[in-house]
């Protein structure tokens, strides 16, 4: 229930002392090739579902940040600097735990330079979000992610 | 000439507006019929929004978590929202459907979520705890018991409605 939304933010400011964790989804985009664009759009949707599910479990302690979006062909080093700037300006003061959530494996290489903990999940293109299999998969991803976050608390 | 043009466009504008309103009204009149057509079970329910959650035969004396998805229509878009409940049967064979939402700040609690307290609900956010019946444990952050869902059983299926908050101890 702590999202970047006008309904939630008052709750955040009221309970600030209890909220020490922020989750920042990192989402790449591109439009140069149809197949890859489709894949990334699909990943984006899935990642947002997983982020929201995690947020649902940890609403009282975790803020779900607006998504950080970047062009896939851009320099990851530059993006990493900008991300760190975000963290410094937005979250550094009040949040003890900063997590980045992504399907983009390229962040693995930049992991050390990031001002927070990278949570990388292997992505999968989902064709039918309503299928039992998808729900199960998303459930599994979410519960693993939640276990991981809890282990840092 | 230019005045005429303006009039025309004003009438056009009115036309659009009226069509818009008409279309909107038709849509809202359609909505209940659509629901009836696809889900007679739902309309038959008195509480209005009871959702089928699980077959009663799956409910044990140990709390289990069940999830279900509801399509939520907001003014601008539709989204799927997942809800959860911890459900078990107590000694009197009554179904107890508890909301997982911690009454402190809203994280989700889990049954036996902390190995030190295998017979309690545990909230990982600030170590809140609850007894099996949902009563909050004193000296942990939650100010009130877990909410209980309105429920009914029809044809062997458990239906859940809204979580009803219970007063603090
Ligand atoms: S939100 Fe459950 S103890 Fe704080």
B108, B123, B126 ranked by CB distance to A56: nearest: B108
State the average pLDDT over residues A43-56.
91
Decide yes or no: CATH 3.30.70 for domain A9-144: no
Contact A56 B82 (CB under 8 A): yes
Contact B125 A60 (CB under 8 A): yes
d(CA B8, CA A106): 58
State the pLDDT at residue B169: 52
For chain B, the DSSP string reads: -HHHHHHHHHHHHHHHHHHHHHHHHHHHHHHHHHHHHH-HHHHH-SSS--EEEEEGGG--SS-EEEEEEEEEE-SS-EEEEEEEEEEEE-TTS-EEEE--B-TTT-PBPEET-STT-TTSEEETTTTEEE-TTSPBPTTSS--SPPPEEEEEEETTEEEEEEEE-----
State the pLDDT at residue A44: 94
Q: C-alpha distances in angstroms, A150 versus A81, A134, B20?
A: 27, 24, 50
**Order of strands across the sheet that contains B110-111:** B110-111, B121-123, B128-130
Going by pLDDT thresholds of 50, 70 and 90, the confidence category of residue A56 is confident
pLDDT tens-digit series, residues A111-127: 999 999 999 998 888 88
The residue to which tokens 């229930």 are assigned:
A1
State the pLDDT at residue A43: 94
Q: Which residue of A has its CA nearest to B66?
A: A139
pLDDT tens-digit series, residues B58-106: 999 999 999 888 887 777 777 778 889 999 999 999 999 999 999 999 9
Answer yes or no: is pLDDT of A80 > 60: yes
Average pLDDT of each block of 10 consecutive residues along chain B (169 residues)?
46 42 41 37 47 93 91 75 92 95 95 94 96 96 96 94 83
Question: Does B108 reach chain A within 8 Å, measured CB to CB?
Answer: yes
Does the structure's ipTM exceed the value 0.90? no
State the average pLDDT over residues A20-31.
95
State the pLDDT at residue B10: 47
- Pick from B40, B124, B47: nearest CA to A152: B124
Domain ranges of chain B: 51-164
Question: Does A45 reach chain B within 8 Å, measured CB to CB?
Answer: no
d(CA A22, CA A100): 9
Contact B106 A139 (CB under 8 A): no
State the average pLDDT over residues A51-78.
92
d(CA A8, CA A6): 6
State the pLDDT at residue B168: 63
Q: Which fold has domain B51-164?
A: Rieske Iron-sulfur Protein (2.102.10)
A11, A18, A57 ranked by CB distance to B108: nearest: A57
Question: Structure pTM?
Answer: 0.77
State the pLDDT at residue A134: 87
Per the prediction, chain A carries an average pLDDT of 91
State the pLDDT at residue A129: 84
State the pLDDT at residue A39: 94
Chain B segment 65-94 residues within 8 A of A by beta carbon are 67, 69, 80, 82
């Amino acid at each position: 229930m702590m999202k970047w939304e006008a309904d939630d933010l008052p709750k955040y400011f009221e309970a600030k002392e209890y909220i020490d964790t922020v989750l920042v989804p990192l989402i790449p985009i591109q439009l140069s090739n149809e197949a890859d664009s489709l894949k990334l759009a699909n990943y984006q949707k899935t990642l947002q579902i997983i982020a929201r599910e995690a947020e649902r479990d940890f609403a009282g302690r975790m803020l779900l940040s607006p998504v950080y979006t970047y062009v896939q062909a851009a320099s990851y080093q530059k993006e990493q600097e900008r991300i760190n700037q975000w963290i410094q300006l937005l979250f550094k003061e009040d949040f003890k735990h900063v997590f980045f959530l992504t399907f983009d494996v390229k962040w693995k290489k930049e992991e050390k330079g990031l001002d927070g903990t990278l949570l990388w999940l292997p992505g999968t293109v989902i064709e039918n979000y309503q299928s039992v299999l998808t729900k199960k998969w998303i459930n599994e991803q979410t519960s693993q992610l939640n276990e991981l976050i809890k282990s840092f608390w | 000439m230019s005045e005429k043009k303006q009039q025309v466009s004003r009438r056009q504008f009115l036309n659009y507006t009226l069509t818009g309103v008409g279309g909107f009204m038709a849509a809202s009149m359609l909505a209940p019929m659509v629901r009836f057509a696809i889900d007679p079970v739902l309309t038959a329910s008195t509480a209005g929004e009871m959702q089928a959650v699980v077959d009663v035969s799956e409910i044990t004396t140990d709390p289990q978590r069940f999830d279900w998805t509801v399509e939520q229509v907001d003014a601008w878009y539709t989204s799927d929202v997942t809800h959860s409940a911890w459900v078990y049967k107590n000694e009197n064979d009554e179904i107890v459907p508890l909301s997982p939402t911690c009454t402190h700040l809203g994280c989700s609690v889990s049954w036996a979520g902390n190995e030190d307290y295998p017979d309690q609900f545990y909230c990982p956010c600030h170590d809140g705890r609850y007894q099996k019946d949902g009563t909050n444990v004193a000296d942990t952050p939650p100010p009130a018991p877990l909410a209980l869902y309105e429920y009914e059983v029809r044809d062997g299926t458990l239906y859940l409605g809204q979580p009803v908050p219970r007063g603090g101890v």
